[in-house]
Structure 1
Amino acid sequence: MDEVPIGRRVAYWRGRRNMSQQVFADRLGKSKSWVDKVERGVRRLDKYSVLHEIADVLRVDVQLLLGKDPQRRTDALNCIDQVEVEAIRSALERYEALPAFFAPFAEVPPLDDVRKSVRHAWLTLQYARYGVLTRALPKLLCDAQAVDAAYRGGDDAAQEAAHLLGQVYQIASSTLRKLGEHELAWLAADRSMAVSQRSGDLLLAGVATCRVGNALLALGRPRSALEINVNFASQLAPNGCRAASPQQLSVYGMLLLQGAMAAARIGDSASVRDLFFGAEEAAGLLGADQNHYWTSFGPTNLRLHQAAAAVELGEGGRAVETDREIPRDRFNALPPERRAHHLLDLARGYAQIGDMEQAGTTLLRGDQLAPSEIRCRPIAHELMSDVLRRTRGAPAQPIAELAEHMGVGI
């Protein structure tokens, strides 16, 4: 990458962040013409201070813009940095798992070790410890790929190895999506769907479908996300011939919830209502919130998604009302990631109705619960910028301090 002109690198990372030249220019305080000239190499970037400003806006290490290996940030204890992004990308780009075309992995870890590591990774994700998780993912991906390549033949060990690799791809997809790496999130989710077919577990494939739908939604393709979730949910729908297992109800319900979120993004209120009705029936049959297939599906998680869908529909007031109806004891029993995610959605709801004080306070609550869910997610950064911009006078000191920790300018 050293031979690539610096302007091309700027254009590349701007595209990765889904910024237009105008938005990028506005955040830099420059003109669109200035950005265009930089990216075409007409204007030189010879001031280190300007390079640092560009790197801050693009959320990359300045060394990447210079074509050098990035240095690990000292303040990245809770967030991902480009060292981890490139390491995860390299792990996803490995094709040694195709033994017919590549040499086998040099080392194959014990299946039991990978099983324990996968469980630990799921717990790390549900506690929103993204910095820890992203540093562990490259090795976990390689280990799971090695085990999957070593155990082929259709026996129980082969199916479990495929199952574990499918789970690792799902963990990677969810983490990358939260941190704004949507293309990589889609790739990992797509890999999970393919591997899940070999595992012989239809429910694992169903959860993988949720991850694909989430990635498509993040990429701005809500109709595709709606279609893939609803189509797979139809295969798992309970029928009167036999009772559905709690696992089936959980995966089925989660597919409907994700379909409802995609429908809300489109503005299709009728589909949102119908999908939530189906999910509510499944939650009623399940009885209580459970964590089968790491879905956290149940009546309370259903309410969290209803609040989130209201925000997507621009109905912040309804999201606030939905939150007030959630029993606190059931809410507090959910994993920290689910609770902090809901508080982020709730803060967006408060911002929609113009209550910026409550929006900021709710972000603080989310930060106290799971800092990475607030400090590391691009959508939280956008919301904090909105809070600071629309707050009359100086923001409260705790909110100002959180904004500083997040790197959001006042």
Structure 2
Amino acid sequence: MAAHRVGPCLSGAAPADGPAVRGALLIQAALAAAGRGDERAAGELLGRADEAARVAGPGGTDGGGFGGEGFGGGDSGGEGFGWAAVEAARVVAGSALGQVTAATVRHERLIAGDGWRWLPPEHRAAYLLDVARLYASAGDGLRAGRALLDAERTARGEVHDRPAARDLVGVVARSAAAPAALTRLAATLGVT
């Protein structure tokens, strides 16, 4: 796995060898493990990504995107890898593993915390698309709709320009519990 080849998490390492790149690779691997249903591997890899986030500290930089729609994560570096990125990955991994209740609780904690605002807007929006899928799979059309609307307000292009996001808007808009604003968005996108 590429995360093992990047090198140890040393705080004085060059950016290409640093904890942010290692952490981003670990997150990618964890999400792949979760997608395969390997809860143990996903948990271990996310634990190691969490360690990398602690080493990266508040000035961590982006090692790359991750998630179903390519969200990445950061902290006070404004564009980078950090605690919020790892927490967002834990939500997406939990969702993939069928841990819907735990994932939704973790999501609510994440967006209420300070780290959330440091994620780049496009990454927040892409993550919110993943969360909308989580809520939709749980049959919660209202929260799924709210997540989609938040994603659209955060980074319009992530919803308007991605076919998968447009399809999700159409599916959720057909829910009886969908917010009226989502129905209007679906009509604007031509996915009603």
TM-score (norm 2): 0.81
Give the structure 2 partner of residue 256 of structure 1. 26
Letter of the 1:250 counterpart: A
1:274 lines up with 2:44 in the alignment: yes
Contact 2:30 2:41 in 1 (8 A): yes
Give the structure 2 partner of residue 283 of structure 1. 53
Give the structure 2 partner of residue 245 of structure 1. 13
Letter of the 2:53 counterpart: A
1:407 lines up with 2:190 in the alignment: yes
Distance of 2:88 and 2:150 partners within structure 1:
16
| Distance apart, 1:387 and its partner CA | 1.3
Distance of 1:352 and 1:244 partners within structure 2:
43
Deviation per residue, 1:261-292 (Å, 9 max, x gap): 11111111111011001111111111226324
Distance of 2:188 and 2:59 partners within structure 1:
34
Change (3 A) 1:369 1:298: same
| Structure 1 residues 168-317: aligned runs within 5 Å | 231-238=1-8, 245=13, 247=15, 248-288=18-58, 290-292=60-62, 296-317=80-101
Distance of 1:246 and 1:359 partners within structure 2:
40
| Distance apart, 1:365 and its partner CA | 0.8
Q: Which runs of 5+ in 2 are unaligned?
A: 66-79
| Distance apart, 1:381 and its partner CA | 2.5
Give the structure 1 partner of residue 152 of structure 2. 367
Ranked by relative contact order (alpha carbons within 8 Å, sequence separation 6 or more), the top structure is 2
Distance of 1:290 and 1:363 partners within structure 2:
28
Contact 2:11 2:55 in 1 (8 A): no
Task: Give aligned pairs, total.
Answer: 175
Distance of 2:98 and 2:167 partners within structure 1:
16
Deviation per residue, 1:192-244 (Å, 9 max, x gap): xxxxxxxxxxxxxxxxxxxxxxxxxxxxxxxxxxxxxxx211112317xx655
Percent of counterpart pairs with the same letter?
33
Give the structure 2 partner of residue 138 of structure 1. none
Alignment counterpart, residue 355 of structure 1, candidates 134, 140, 146: 140
Distance of 2:104 and 2:137 partners within structure 1:
10
Change (3 A) 1:342 1:357: same
Contact 2:24 2:63 in 1 (8 A): no
Contact 1:315 1:352 in 2 (8 A): no
Change (3 A) 1:310 1:265: same
Contact 2:11 2:19 in 1 (8 A): no
- Structure number with greater Rg is 1
Q: Which runs of 5+ in 1 are unaligned?
A: 1-230
Letter of the 1:347 counterpart: A
Letter of the 1:368 counterpart: R
Give the structure 1 partner of residue 70 of structure 2. none
Distance of 1:243 and 1:287 partners within structure 2:
8
Contact 2:128 2:151 in 1 (8 A): yes
